[in-house]
Amino acid sequence: MSKHLHERGSSFQYRRVFPQDVRTTAGRRELTRSLKVRTKKEAEIEAALLDVEFNKIVATARGTGQPNEATAIVLATRLLQSKGLLTSEGALNFPQIDPRKPEHNTIEKQLRVIKEWEEKYEAAYDQLALSVASITPEGEVVETYDPASPHSRAFVQLTGQEAPKPDYTLHDAAVLYVETNKRKVGRKADQQAKSEQQQWLRLNALADWLGEGNRDLGYKTPFNSIDRSVAQRFKTYLVETKDWTVATRNKALEMLRAAFNVAGDEYDLAGWNNPFRKMSDAITDSKVRYPFSPNDYQLWWRSLLAWRNDNPEAALIGLIMMETGSRIYEISHLVVGDLRLDADVPHVLVRNNSLRDLKGVIEHPIILFNTLPMLRGYLSSLKSKAPADPVFPRYSKPKGNTNLSNTMNKRLRSVEGMQIDQLSAYSARHAFKDRGRAAGVDLAVLDYLMGHKTKQSSVVAQGYGTGYSLTVLKEAAERINAQEDWGYLDHLTY
């Protein structure tokens, strides 16, 4: 099936985005049509015709001429196929004049039969030609092949009336948002799949509620009928029936706000306001994430050291997290080219690479001390050390950080003597923050070491690479790792 053809239940839609340099001349951003056909085969034929029309518009806008003769032949072939006059194998599917028959053995008879067939299909050709050119003066693409439709250019020219906008549904808005978000963000394949899964889960929740359990019916809800009162009632439904935290509910409402913004801008509906604007609540029930106490820190450090023989990758990642306050995926998805172990100030560069995108994370170096010789020894055991090769192959896969987190937390729960039950491997990051504060490290430098993307950390980042900044970062990291007491108050913590 054509990549520009989208199947939605029992209907089909063609959508293809114009190149940036063509949009002004074309008068619109994309060519979109709802195909009034019943089968996928018919839809593919119509999509092929629209591909020709799309290329024609692009060629005209760029001044590169009209489609060549080969394109015209393809268009004619598709036209014959769409009308059932030519099979997919190229065989003719209409009565032909057999000159061997006596009744056909005259020029007059042959001309008469040809004229009958020309008149019969002339109207069909004219109707198709009208539909291909059925674009309103405002640049809106029609969604019907009927020249008498109020959406066609013929109707506008004959009646002088403005063509009404199509009746967009919630499903139209959902598909538009998911595809627009994909083009705008440009995630890696695995991250895009995960993001789309979350988007559809939230959109499906709204469709299920609108359809009272019938999702397909809910998606058929007219887009412009979902107003503020509908959005408020949906939020009440989430509060009363869904076992979601406030943070989870806010994420769903914010995503719906973004989806409706995209659709509202695209559909340009008069007097329309986003019904999901400012629907989020203050977060009051977020899960408390405890840092390691000094005692718990030592217990977990020793446990990771003992774990190196059984799972060297997980153990080393955990130790680096303890020493640097790094996130799991900052370490688990490193490539060899990210390592700067022979620099004057040995460090690891946390940045986007072939394995991951660090959304919302400032690129920053992390300074190693006790873990530096461990990492060097580990690297010597790797079979391949090409710059693009993963440092930790076992956990560099798309869901590797999730698997690693589960593995590390299972190990953590087996450590005896822990004073706090709610600890996790991520507690090392919170402990690093507390230790940095206790050591009196400048908060801007501390944010930068931890990869927090703030105005203060961005100022520090501007000086990175001069050598001086790395020296400052090393001194700050040394002070943090030398801190043995980070101000735990027994009556507040235990």
The pTM for the full model equals 0.51
Mean pLDDT for the chain? 79
196 in a structural domain: yes
79 shares its domain with 148 = yes
Report the alpha-carbon distance of residue 231 to residue 209 in Å, rounded.
Answer: 11
146 and 179 in one domain? no
Same domain, 256 and 330: no
Residue 125, pLDDT > 60, answer no
Token representation of residue 217: 């019916």
User: Is the predicted pLDDT of residue 136 greater than 50, yes or no?
Assistant: no
Task: Lowest mean pLDDT of 148-162, 240-254, 299-313, 348-362, name the range.
Answer: 148-162
Side by side, the strands of the sheet bearing 30-35 are 5-8, 11-17, 30-35
> What pLDDT was estimated at residue 95?
56
Residue 274 lies in a domain: no
Distances (CA, A) of 26 to 136, 154, 339, 382: 12, 19, 49, 55
Q: What is the pLDDT of residue 64?
A: 61
pLDDT band, very low/low/confident/very high, at 461 (cuts 50, 70, 90):
confident
pLDDT single digits (tens) 282-336: 765 555 667 888 999 999 999 999 999 999 999 999 999 999 999 998 999 999 9
CATH code, domain carrying 433: 1.10.443.10
Does residue 478 sit in the same domain as residue 345?
Answer: yes
Q: Is the pLDDT of residue 494 over 90?
A: no
Range of the domain at 45: 5-159
- Domain boundary, last residue among 159, 178, 197: 159
Instruction: Say yes or no: 142 and 253 in one domain.
Output: no
Average pLDDT over residues 427-449: 91
User: Is the same domain home to 213 and 104?
Assistant: no
Cα dist from 297 to 48, 423, 481, whole Å: 64, 10, 12
164 located within any domain: no
Tokens 């869901």 belong to 399
* Rounded Cα distance, 195 and 422, in Å: 28
Whether residue 205 has pLDDT greater than 80: yes
Angle of helix 312-324 relative to helix 371-379, nearest 10 degrees?
A: 150
Considering the domain architecture, whether residues 403 and 325 belong to the same structural domain is answered as yes
Which pair of tokens denotes residue 491?
């009556």
State the Cα–Cα distance between residues 446 and 456, nearest whole angstrom.
10
Distance from C-alpha of 30 to C-alpha of 16, rounded to nearest angstrom? 6
Asked whether residue 226 falls in the same domain as residue 367, the answer is no
- Give pLDDT, residue 334: 94
452 pLDDT more than 50: yes
pLDDT in tens, 245-288: 888 889 999 999 999 999 888 887 777 889 999 888 876 555 56
- Is 325 inside a domain boundary? yes
Q: Does residue 400 lie in a domain region?
A: yes
Q: Tell me whether residue 212 is in a domain.
A: yes
464 vs 472: CA distance, rounded Å: 10
